[in-house]
């Protein structure tokens, strides 16, 4: 069993990951509506990855003899002005998740919960990759016109993306 404060924080992050999946689905819808099905695929995969992350928290809580508690999801942002707007919202969301993971690490360290620290290591690496990925995509999109030839090439590239676990 874990200290109650840590269990509550882990449950919050479990739900934050589900909220992120929800938000990425809304972002996919923006691209689907515009006909950019590769970008939509990219975001649907992102949504599935966030759900996978949530389930890692779920399983960890169960392993530690705690109960995962589902909370209400809030309506995500559904209206975007451009692909760049979606991407910048994505990076902001990932930075928020990173901040939450760091807070969990700090709490687990204060409570000397070494198993939780070990569990959270994977998320630290994952967040570094996620933020870099979005920074790189933003740099690429800023250099092209939405709907232009290179943007459509990126759309084709993202259509090939598959879920990696």
Q: Please give the annotated binding residues for Fe cation, written as ranges.
A: 17, 50, 53, 94, 127
Cβ pair 26, 78 in contact under 8 A: yes
Which residues fall in the annotated binding site? 17, 50, 53, 94, 127
Angle between helices 4-34 and 83-110 (to 10 degrees): 170
CA distance 107 to 10: 10
Cα 164 to Cα 14, 42, 106, distances in angstroms: 20, 12, 28
Q: Which helix (H) or strand (E) holds 78?
A: none
Phi/psi of residue 4, each to 5°? -55, -40
Task: Say how many Å lie between the first and final Cα of the chain, rounded.
Answer: 28
Nearest-angstrom CA–CA distance, 7 and 68: 9
64: which DSSP letter? T
């Amino acid at each position: 069993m874990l200290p109650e404060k840590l269990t509550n924080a882990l449950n919050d992050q479990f739900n934050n990951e589900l909220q992120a999946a929800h938000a990425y689905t809304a972002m996919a819808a923006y691209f689907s509506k515009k006909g950019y099905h590769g970008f939509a695929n990219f975001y649907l995969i992102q949504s599935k990855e966030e759900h996978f992350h949530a389930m890692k928290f779920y399983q960890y809580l169960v392993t530690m003899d705690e109960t995962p508690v589902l909370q209400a999801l809030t309506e995500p942002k559904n209206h975007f002005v451009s692909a760049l707007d979606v991407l910048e919202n994505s990076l902001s969301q990932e930075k928020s998740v990173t901040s939450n993971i760091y807070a969990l690490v700090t709490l687990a360290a204060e409570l000397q919960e070494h198993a939780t620290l070990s569990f959270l290591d994977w998320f630290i690496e994952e967040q570094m990759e996620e933020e870099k990925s979005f920074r790189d995509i933003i740099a690429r999109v800023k250099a092209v016109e939405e709907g232009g030839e290179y943007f459509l090439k990126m759309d084709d590239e993202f259509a090939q993306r598959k879920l990696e676990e």
